[in-house]
Each structure stands twice: as structure tokens, then as C-alpha cells.
Structure 1
């Protein structure tokens, strides 16, 4: 299991970005976190390395390009389709969850409301061997 991670996270909510920064700082791993305020910023960063992300966390409801559009662009690109994308959203709407899975998301997490659960969900994503992980109906949604 690797101990160095480059994480890209796109979310239009400044409080959520700050919370994500605080949680990743508390995790006992070397994490380089790059936050983006919208989907367009994230796509520009992905297309202009360095750095390149090991994993992308993506909010769904953002102005401009929303998470669905960003996910679709990433997963339809030969160059970026193998980057794991974790949907990190307040929505637990089954239609949204199903749609993100169909678009190629690797995991879906409803944003936890406590620091400990938030940390546990991020640690879980970092423990996954994405080279062999196959999202199924049984393991696509992560609940803390």
C-alpha cells in the first residue's frame, strides 16, 4: 500500500474544501491535496500536470461544469479514464448514484457530518487497490 497520495478535490463550497483540508491533514499519510472551486478548474489542473492525481474527489452540484459533466469528460478520455473518481456529495438520491456509476465513477460517498466519519471515509478510499477494484452494486456506495 502506497503512502504518498496526490488528491484533487473539486467542490464549490468553501467550508467543505476547508473541512476536507483539515481531515486530510489529520490522516497519517503523505497527502498532497489540490482543491478546486469548480469542475472547470479541476479539468484544467488534470490536463496540465504536474502534478497528476492519484485519486479525484468530486462534488456533484457545482456551477458551470457540474460533477456529472466532469466525470463524463474524465471517463471518456483515454488519457484520464483510469484515474479513480470518488463522488463526494451531500446527495443520497438513488438516481444520482446510479447515474454516476453508469458514467464510470469508482466510488460514491455521501459526505459525512462528523470529523471522525469523514476521516474514516477518506482513509477507506486510500486503502483501496484501484488497479483491481471493480465497482459493483455491493461496493459502489461507501457508508461509514
Structure 2
């Protein structure tokens, strides 16, 4: 399985990677520092990721613009995208869902809650949910 993390915060990404790799050494994690990086990675990957974790507040192409562009790519039309951001602004939540994000999750402020939230995201999106990319052959 493969996850694309789109986030410019190295500390947050380190915690996300640690949580995603716990009990799962077969998970491939790709990292993009902003929306432009994410779009370039997605255009060059042979297989779509099983999940995209997308921050909103980044320099360059932000998460909203990246989400709009990703959803225009036929190969990524059904790729699960979870907005994982510090924002709790109603306008951000509404805009994310209007642009077909699958979920909007606010990053917790403390480390233990952050880890717990990541464990829930991993469990739900990578284990519970049936993903069209993982089940395309059956």
C-alpha cells in the first residue's frame, strides 16, 4: 500500500510517518512539500496511492488548489483524500468537501492526540475502507 503525505511541516510529517509505519513495514510513504510537488508526484506515479493526506496551509500551491487539481486527474478521481490540517475554519471545511475531499480532520495540538488521530486514520482508511485501487483486480 502507498500513502502520499502533502505537508510542509517536517515535524508533523515525521510523526505521521512513524504512526503509519507502526506495525506495517510494507507501507510505502511518498512526501510532497506543497501542492505543486503533490501534483508532480501523482502525474509520475505508475499506481495511484491508497490514501492522500493533504494539509491546507502550505507555501506555493496550497491544499485547496491541489485538491481541485488532483480531482481533475482521471486516475485520481476516486483516490481517498483526507484533509489533515490545523484549520478548523468553516470556510475551509465547506470548500474541502465541495472539492470532493473524503474527510476533513483537524490536527490535534498535543502529540498523544496527534498520534491517536493518525492511528484512527490509518485503521479506517487503510484497513477498514474498501479502496477501488486495492480491489481493482477482484
Shorter-chain TM range is 0.7 to 0.9
- Preserved CA contact (<8 Å) 1:91 1:110: yes
- Report what 2:136 is aligned to: none
Write 1 or 2 for the structure with the bigger share of helix: 2
**Tell me, what secondary structure is at the counterpart of 2:14?**
helix
Kindly tell me: are residues 91 and 56 of structure 1, through their superposed partners in 2, closer, same or farther at Cα, counting changes over 3 Å? same
Deviation at 1:130, TM superposition (A): 5.0
Task: Give the 3-state SS of the residue equivalent to 2:27 in structure 1.
Answer: strand
User: 1:23–1:118: 8 Å Cα contact kept in structure 2?
Assistant: no
> Does the 8 Å contact 2:19/2:115 carry over to 1?
yes
Aligned to 2:105: 109
1:100 is aligned to 2:79: no
2:75 aligned counterpart, secondary structure: coil
Instruction: Report the TM-score when normalising by structure 1.
Output: 0.78
User: Mind listing any 5+ residue stretches in structure 2 that lack a counterpart?
Assistant: 133-138
Aligned equivalent of 2:48: 52
**Highest relative contact order (Cα 8 Å, sep 6+), 1 or 2?**
2
Determine helix, strand or coil for the equivalent of 2:114: helix
Are the aligned partners of 1:60 and 1:68 in contact in 2 as well (CA < 8 Å)?
Answer: yes
Aligned 1:1-144 pairs, distance under 5 A: 5-25=1-21, 27-29=22-24, 30-126=26-122, 127-128=124-125, 129-131=129-131
Q: Residues of 1 paired with 2:47 and 2:15: CA distance?
A: 22
User: Does the residue aligned with 2:31 lie in a helix, a strand or coil?
Assistant: strand
Deviation at residue 131 of structure 1 after TM alignment: 4.6
What SS is found at the alignment partner of 1:95?
Answer: helix
**Cα root mean square deviation, aligned:** 1.9
Residues paired across the two proteins, number: 127
Give the TM-score of the pair, scaled to structure 2.
0.81
